[in-house]
Copies of this chain bind each other. A is one copy, B any other.
């Protein structure tokens, strides 16, 4: 900047005033033009580090997560945060806490936050790959922060989570609406909010339909495709099998498709299936397309960024609706044979 100033025969202050378009600076148009031309000619490029130091603001947001950058699951979160941040002219500093290695997770998380604070981020988004309850790093209180998909034990920080309970209830209702009465919930043996809320949504939907007794929840040994397959195989091999299955997630739903094919059942003719999460690599690729619940990760992350950029600090607890994505895996029970499978599945 000094070089530009010298070359344009003005002071460094003038260059700063011109390039930042400070109004009320009273620089004559001719000087402004001259400075701009010289700066362009010399290829002047502002030093954001110096700028940050002076302004006490880095135009950078920290993003701490567990496995998000690392897995193909919740990349909508990073994507939303990244896009939103860029649209505000800021940048994203990502810190993934995954391999705790020798240090316990809690310590690793705290360290990640502290490192971001040292870099003077203007705010921090603390995200989880799935909705869970956490004892959140205390250093988060030193800067505006938002919890993404994380239910904190105390509610002193703003947070945004999906309404998985209502979503689960709604997809189940969708099954009930077309006439299913024998619905099984294929769940997974974890006790995160994600899991329990989906279970509760299922149970409540069934109960309200007067089907409390037939609301069967079955626990697989995990939440992946092969685990869904194995569990579904048992369920579907039994003499009387359900006419619909509500899966904890799309991956397990795929396992259900595989198990159904194995025992000669056709989806959706003999078995309706719904998933959860709308995994882009799975749900739309299955044949027939899987009806599922969309977790609005992208929008949630955008909201989190907006919250920080707007300078808010109030501890709102946002709960967002999850839209149902209807595809072709649900039809009324007992329609077997009435539809020619190959044709109606596009």
Contacts and interface: CB of A to CB of B under 8 A. Distances in A.
A285 B226 contact: yes
Contact of A72 (B52, B75, B99, B119): B75
A120 B47 contact: yes
Interface in A11-27: none
Interface stretch (A85-93, A150-158, A201-209, A325-333): A85-93
Contacts of A93: 60, 91-93
A132 to B, nearest CB: 21
A58 interface: yes
Interface string A271-288: 000000001111001010
Contacts of A258: 287
A32 to B, nearest CB: 21
Contact of A82 (B79, B94, B282, B285): B94
Interface string A91-102: 111111001000
A69 B58 contact: no
Contact of A91 (B99, B115, B226): B115
Interface in A34-61: 45-50, 52-53, 58, 60
Given A47-B120, A251-B281, 9 more contacts: A48-B119, A49-B52, A49-B58, A69-B82, A70-B82, A72-B280, A79-B96, A82-B96, A91-B119
